[in-house]
Amino acid sequence: MSFNTMSEYFSLSDCDVIGFDLDHTLCRYHLKETSRLIYESFARYLVEHKGYDKDLLNLTPATWDFCFKGLVVDLEDGNLVKLAEDGTVLRATHGTNDLSTEEIIKHYGPTREWKHFNGLSTSFTRSAKYYLYDNYFDLPGALLCGRVVDMLHKVNSNMICFHQ
């Protein structure tokens, strides 16, 4: 029985499409560069094809501190929330602006309970009311979402309603 090398059976050049997952099966990701590329691609599309403010294209190194796994964007009010295992709001922003403890209590009540938590744990992150940014490829989307909320507030100082 002869053992042949993998290249005799498989070549990436024979593939029409290559998909990537974060398990690093085929490559090691440079997350900082990958995130920047994803963000810039989405932002450029919004600016060039949808007429969004060019300010979306301007990022500072500090801007990336906003990104971390497990953020949920509440599409009803433009808040991004970080939840505890029981659905308690640990941290929240409106756009990219941090909400104070008092503002969190005003939005979510004294127990700081996020009203959609039970749906989140059963719907696998897809809903018309929220979106869970739960992996590294999603993080640039969370940042972009926060910055779009900021941009909308800059244009219109009234509270923005996302569920109309």
Q: Kindly list the catalytic residues.
A: 21, 23
Neighbours of 42 (CB within 10 A): 16
Cα–Cα distance for residue pair 43/45, rounded to 1 Å: 5
Strands 71-74 and 89-94: unpaired
Q: 17 in the Ramachandran plot: left (φ > 0), alpha (ψ -120 to 50) or beta?
A: beta
Residues 121-148 as b/e (b if ≥16 CB within 10 A, e otherwise) read eeeeeeeebbbbbeeebbbbbbbbbbbb
